[in-house]
Structure 1
Amino acid sequence: MDACWEIAVRRGCEIILLSEPDRRTIVDDRWVVSADSSAAILVSCGTAAVHNKGAGPGYVWVELARMVMFSVYLSPNSDFLVYARMVDDLVEEIARWRSKIVVVSGDFNVKVRSWGSAIDDRRGRLLEDAMASVDLQCVNRRGEMTFESGGVGIFVPDLTFVNMRGLQRLLGWQVLGEETLSDHRLITFEIGDVIQEERPGTRSVRFHSGSVAQFRAAIDFELGCSKDTDLNELTDTVFRVGAETGVIKEVTAGRAGVNWWTPELAKLRRRCVMSRHCLKRTQRPGENIEEELGRLRLARRDFRGATASKKCKRQ
């Protein structure tokens, strides 16, 4: 902890997010600690002013002028159902802050290939679906290890998630190589004041089956006709050919909100989405498809019933 603190002070960090903090160092009101003391946020001396704060099982959050930051620790020793409930509580709290920049960082103790680990595990698939349900994107870079695994394979348990408002201002996310006397490495990043220039390939899209063979053939033809295509031109080509073949469809602005929609309905809808994703992923030996199907049916029944009730009351 002393080494981490020294590095943070030297780098001028204003907000420090910690998993499994040393409780002996929590000595003043600059600290905000989770309900089980497994995660903490330290607001160091600087310009950051805390407007609000809160905590739950395995997580803690602070509201600043234009953003909300979460620190998380989810134990690898907890039962899967306990882990799922903690994730659900976390996601419910995150959903309250859609209008602000949201940053979620911590030790989630999961394995997800797309986030840098060698394999996917059940908790990782659950967390991946949960974060997608509140439009958070993992900003970890593949190949950058956050944990000294000690021979247990490639494992990236320390993750950072940011919503679209935050992605537009995210600067300098990196894993530090400095010694901290811990198996976990320090991660630093900055949320800037200026929206960064949009990068090629950041359009919001949905992928459809379409004519995949036709799409591949068209891309091969386009690339064969041009030897000096730069990244911007290549991106435009992929989107154009994808749209022509029906494989890629860009997402347009959503419909206007309805007067009967409530946070309760949003929560039930997220559960439907998570249950559906879990069912789609349940294709491995030993996993109970009927159990996941039952959860999806129950979630859909609750959502449809609540939606019908709200519509009737508004009318």
Structure 2
Amino acid sequence: MPGHLSFLQANVNHSAAAQDLFLQTVAEWSVDVAVVSEPYYVPSQPHWAGDDEGSVAVVVRPGAGPPLIPRMRGPGYVVAAWGEYAVVGIYFSPNRNLAALEQFLDALGPLIRRLAPLPVIVAGDFNAKSSAWGSPVTDPKGREVEEWALASGLSLLNTGTVQTCVRRTGGSVVDLSFATPAVARRVEGWKVVTEVETLSDHRYIRFEVSPASTSSPASRFRGQSVFPRWAISKLNRELAEEAAIVGRWSFPSSQAMGVDELAGCFGKVLHSVCRTAMPRVWGPPPPRRVVYWWSTELADLRAACNAARRAYCRSRRRRPQDVERDDRLYRVYRAKREILQLAISRAKERAWLELVEGLENDPWGRPRPP
């Protein structure tokens, strides 16, 4: 919906294939902001912000809006500003005890309160259970998180009882979403996505935030293009060469100009060349719905994996339970997952080799489009 911001939560269990699939999902669903727990790695890129241990990261889709600005980080948490929002990514290991959770939350609470008056969204894997967010039981860690959220002025966004982490031996609700009341009132469509393969034992969580007003910074950014765009596929090389020659004739003497003035004149010449040699493209660029290595073959393999997982889950719910049938369907599902993981790895390797080959073959050093 226009002006709405799309959020995604994931836990990829330190799996390279699961993180690759997560990035494709971000592109395919046009996600604006995502929080990923247990990433395989945190790239040194401006649209990623990670904690001190590489256990959680906040990710924004390149070109989706304002720049991502890391504000604070520590072991198991990262705070990043994105336009009018502050996004906090959380990961707390299930191997740590209650005393460690109390210390972790005691340090985190004041940080969240200092973010006011920014709207704050907190998301991640807390590894705590409570009936407040759909677990059948409440454990001591769950009670501690409940009290911490209340003291921090956060509203719970989780709805329903759908498990966020599913293993063959059972499932749990441990991936949580919170927000300050001002933004919680604008959250729409919070849900656990059960029909999509993640290559992880955690499911994706999606929700949207409606704009507070039509003049919010993120909304304004998404509706405009910062730089002029040209239809390079319609480039007339002869006209470009002639325009460049004319621009060189009219270029002022560099002896009487400073570096900034020379750069400005050069920019005007390039703009004139583009305007002469190819038509202008108006409006913001269309969102890129796939990562560079994605293909229809991978989409088909993912669909087959989804179907195998649904068949296995349906079999588990049938009564009386047939253990032999469940085992057979589970083996089929695991085989489909392994095929998808291998195909993703090979697709990335193939795309990289094509990129290198394109750089060597093109005299301008431009890679071939995927």
Structure 1 residue aligned with 2:140: 122
Structure 1 residue aligned with 2:191: 174
The amino acid across from 1:13 in the alignment is: V
Partner residue of 1:143 out of 161, 167, 171: 161
| Contact 1:113–1:119 under 8 Å retained in 2 | yes
Say if 1:14 and 1:167 are closer, same or farther in 2 by CA, change over 3 A: same
The amino acid across from 2:106 in the alignment is: D
| Contact 1:48–1:64 under 8 Å retained in 2 | yes
- For 1:269-307, what per-residue CA distance to the aligned partner results, in whole angstroms no more than 9, with x for missing partners? xxxxxxxxxxxxxxxxxxxxxxxxxxxxxxxxxxxxxxx
Partner residue of 1:40 out of 57, 67, 89: 57
Structure 2 residue aligned with 1:222: none
Pair member with larger Rg: 2
Say if 1:192 and 1:48 are closer, same or farther in 2 by CA, change over 3 A: farther
Find the aligned partners of 1:96 and 1:149 in 2 and give their Cα distance: 38
Find the aligned partners of 1:156 and 1:33 in 2 and give their Cα distance: 24
Structure 2 residue aligned with 1:217: none
| Contact 1:74–1:107 under 8 Å retained in 2 | yes
Structure 1 vs Structure 2: percent identity of aligned residues? 29
Report the aligned-residue RMSD: 1.6
| Contact 2:49–2:70 under 8 Å retained in 1 | no
Counting matched residue pairs gives 193
The amino acid across from 1:148 in the alignment is: V
Structure 1 residue aligned with 2:116: 98
Deviation at 1:35, TM superposition (A): 1.3
Structure 2 residue aligned with 1:157: 174
Q: Unpaired segments of 5 or more residues in structure 1?
A: 196-315
Q: Unpaired segments of 5 or more residues in structure 2?
A: 1-18, 214-370
- For 1:218-262, what per-residue CA distance to the aligned partner results, in whole angstroms no more than 9, with x for missing partners? xxxxxxxxxxxxxxxxxxxxxxxxxxxxxxxxxxxxxxxxxxxxx
Say if 1:183 and 1:133 are closer, same or farther in 2 by CA, change over 3 A: same
Moved more, 102-111 or 92-101: 92-101
Counterpart secondary structure, 1:182: coil
Find the aligned partners of 1:61 and 1:21 in 2 and give their Cα distance: 16
Find the aligned partners of 2:38 and 2:82 in 1 and give their Cα distance: 23
- For 1:36-61, what per-residue CA distance to the aligned partner results, in whole angstroms no more than 9, with x for missing partners? 21111112211132345221221111
Partner residue of 1:192 out of 195, 210, 223: 210
The amino acid across from 1:173 in the alignment is: W
Structure 2 residue aligned with 1:133: 151
- For 1:94-141, what per-residue CA distance to the aligned partner results, in whole angstroms no more than 9, with x for missing partners? 111231211000000001011111101111111110010011111111
Counterpart secondary structure, 2:58: strand
Say if 1:16 and 1:107 are closer, same or farther in 2 by CA, change over 3 A: same
| Contact 1:56–1:90 under 8 Å retained in 2 | no
Counterpart secondary structure, 1:148: strand
- For 1:186-207, what per-residue CA distance to the aligned partner results, in whole angstroms no more than 9, with x for missing partners? 1111222147xxxxxxxxxxxx
Deviation at 1:27, TM superposition (A): 4.1
- Asked if 1:108 corresponds to 2:126, the answer is yes
Relative contact order, higher structure (CA 8 A, sep 6+): 2
The amino acid across from 1:184 in the alignment is: H
Question: How do 1:159-308 residues align onto structure 2 when only pairs under 5 Å count?
Answer: 159-177=176-194, 178-194=196-212
Partner residue of 1:60 out of 66, 78, 81: 78
Find the aligned partners of 1:150 and 1:94 in 2 and give their Cα distance: 36
Find the aligned partners of 2:57 and 2:187 in 1 and give their Cα distance: 22
**Normalised by the size of structure 1, how large is the TM-score?**
0.58
| Contact 1:56–1:89 under 8 Å retained in 2 | no
Say if 1:123 and 1:67 are closer, same or farther in 2 by CA, change over 3 A: same
**Normalised by the size of structure 2, how large is the TM-score?**
0.50
Deviation at 1:172, TM superposition (A): 2.0
